[in-house]
Amino acid sequence: MAKDRIRILFVCHGNICRSTMAQCVMQHMVDSRGIGGRFTIDSVATTNEEIGMPIYPPAREKLKAEGVPIVPHRARRIQAGEQAGWDYIICMDEENIRHLRRILGPENMGKVRKLLSYVGESGDVADPWYTGNFDATYNDVVRGCEALLASVC
């Protein structure tokens, strides 16, 4: 990874819905502003359940419907020590933070925040795998990404 870039890693449970939606949305935002070259954006899971899988079809369809390009993607799990390569590690919910504390170690949580904290909210981005509500998830992801981008630029 280039050291001169702003490096953002989005995290969720399986890396096929929320974190990948956030990755696509943020990449689209920076590319649309002509600043994509200043960023490295990726996404990961905290579990092994979906490793190797592409973005979940309903998430893909929601992004397409909103005109957001889909980045090439296969789900992967975050690795211990990986936090050193990222400036921002952005989780979708409190469970992701608990998993990261176990994977990365409590001493390595300084870069970790929940996405909605950037809009001044303490809540979680609901997992559409369980809720089925990809519209609400997308809206939260967009709000969070806009606020995150404003805070880093």
Look up 5 and say whether it is catalytic: no
Element (H, E) at 104: helix 94-104
Domain count, the chain: 1
The CATH code of the domain that includes 92 is 3.40.50.2300
Element (H, E) at 8: strand 6-12
Residue 1 domain-assigned (yes or no):
no
Residue 14 domain-assigned (yes or no):
yes
Q: Rounded to whole angstroms, how far apart are CA atoms 54 and 89?
A: 21
- Per annotation, catalytic residue among 18, 24, 42, 93: 18
- Per annotation, catalytic residue among 42, 93, 124, 127: 127
> Residue 62 belongs to what domain range?
6-152
Residue 147 domain-assigned (yes or no):
yes
Question: In this predicted model, what pLDDT tens digit does every residue of 22-47 receive, in sequence order?
Answer: 999 999 999 999 999 999 999 999 99
Q: Tell me which residue of 17, 25, 15 sits closest to 130, measured CA to CA.
A: 17
Look up 12 and say whether it is catalytic: yes
Reported confidence tier of residue 3, pLDDT bands at 50, 70, 90:
low
Look up 143 and say whether it is catalytic: no
pLDDT score at 1: 45
Give 69's DSSP letter: P
Question: In this predicted model, what pLDDT tens digit does every residue of 49-69 receive, in sequence order?
Answer: 999 999 999 999 999 999 999
- Per annotation, catalytic residue among 12, 17, 91, 145: 12
pTM for this prediction:
0.96
